[in-house]
């Protein structure tokens, strides 16, 4: 475990998956992240790479060869090297190796930088294509934020406010794949009330959400989490059944569509990176 902190926040990470496992408001002692209770979901803030969600039949085809990848890819199960570390910043790096090339035939570097400044944690991603050919990948974040159901609060006291959406177009999941159909959730004053029932059919997956800032808050006190992201065109919101957390998930890419032909180069939302190219994106969480 590696910890960084300033006078406002303390963040702890596991080099397994370069995962953020704790974010504490030092003034209040309050833990912002989900506990990782395996009875519901053992994750806390996994990194999704080089795919997001599930592949059709857990397989993809590239250059006439079939490969298998687990749901959400392999980065969350790999040990990252600590490239740089200071009191309020740490940089993790994962690079391709013989094992990764067997299931993902691209040479790459994935850097994840976590930075604390005042009451904000910023997460920067840098993907480099080290192959001698075009590289295809997706990357997503999956942070789970704790919902306080003690001190007279319950899950239904919480809501998500959107900066620029009056409705959400949701792609339902069918056997972990994305339906081509959509359903609409109307928002009153750009607000989505939380409830356990909201996630009864898995995640809310959106491919055309306009907001780039969300606020997770409850209506009984002034505590809130401001969530901002950049260069992630898709978004997911999810919680395990009856669990006291909610995941806010900015994505570059989504699970396979139901009718996908499994060709990696034709996968909806896949990024293509030229030889020697790089890609960046980020998200940040501000604790109020």
Domain ranges (residues) in the chain = 2-287
Residues 91-141 pLDDT 10s: 999 999 999 999 999 999 999 999 999 999 999 999 999 999 999 999 999
Predicted pLDDT at 219: 86
CA dist 161 and 149 (Å) reads 19
Report the pLDDT value the prediction gives residue 281, as an integer from 0 to 100. 98
Q: How far apart are CA 184 and CA 172, in angstroms?
A: 11
Contact 267, 260 (CB under 8 A): yes
Q: What is the pLDDT of residue 195?
A: 95
Q: Could you tell me if 55 and 69 are in contact, meaning their C-beta atoms sit under 8 angstroms apart?
A: yes
Spans of the chain, pLDDT less than 50: none
161-171 pLDDT, tens digit per residue, is 999 999 999 99
Which backbone phi and psi does 96 adopt, to 5 degrees? Answer: -65, 155
Q: Phi, psi at residue 10, to the nearest 5°?
A: -130, 125
The CATH code that applies to domain 2-287 is 2.70.98.10
Q: What pLDDT is stored for residue 222 in this prediction?
A: 73
- The residue count for the chain: 288
Give me the helices (H) in the chain, please.
98-103
């Amino acid at each position: 475990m590696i910890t960084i902190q300033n006078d406002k926040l303390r963040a702890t990470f596991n080099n397994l998956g370069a995962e953020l496992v704790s974010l504490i408001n030092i003034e209040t002692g309050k833990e912002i992240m989900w506990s990782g209770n395996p009875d519901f979901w053992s994750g806390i803030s996994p990194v999704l790479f080089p795919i997001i969600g599930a592949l059709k039949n857990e397989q993809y085809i590239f250059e006439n060869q079939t490969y298998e990848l687990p749901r959400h890819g392999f980065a969350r199960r790999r040990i990252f090297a600590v490239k740089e570390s200071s009191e309020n910043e740490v940089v993790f790096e994962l690079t391709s190796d013989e094992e990764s090339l067997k299931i993902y035939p691209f040479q790459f570097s994935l850097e994840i930088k976590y930075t604390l400044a005042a009451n904000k944690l910023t997460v920067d991603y840098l993907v480099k294509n080290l192959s001698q050919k075009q590289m295809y990948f997706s990357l997503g974040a999956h942070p789970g934020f704790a919902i306080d159901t003690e001190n007279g609060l319950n899950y239904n006291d919480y809501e998500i406010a959107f900066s620029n959406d009056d409705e959400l177009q949701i792609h339902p999941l069918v056997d972990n794949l994305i339906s081509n159909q959509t359903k609409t959730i109307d928002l009153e004053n750009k607000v989505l009330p939380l409830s356990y029932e909201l996630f009864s059919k898995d995640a809310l997956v959106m491919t055309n959400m306009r907001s780039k800032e969300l606020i997770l808050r409850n209506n009984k006190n002034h505590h809130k989490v401001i969530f901002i992201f950049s260069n992630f065109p898709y978004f997911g919101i999810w919680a395990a059944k009856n669990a006291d957390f909610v995941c806010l998930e900015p994505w570059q890419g989504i699970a396979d569509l139901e009718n996908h032909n499994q060709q990696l180069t034709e996968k909806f939302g896949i990024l293509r990176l030229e030889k020697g190219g790089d890609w960046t994106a980020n998200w940040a969480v501000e604790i109020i």
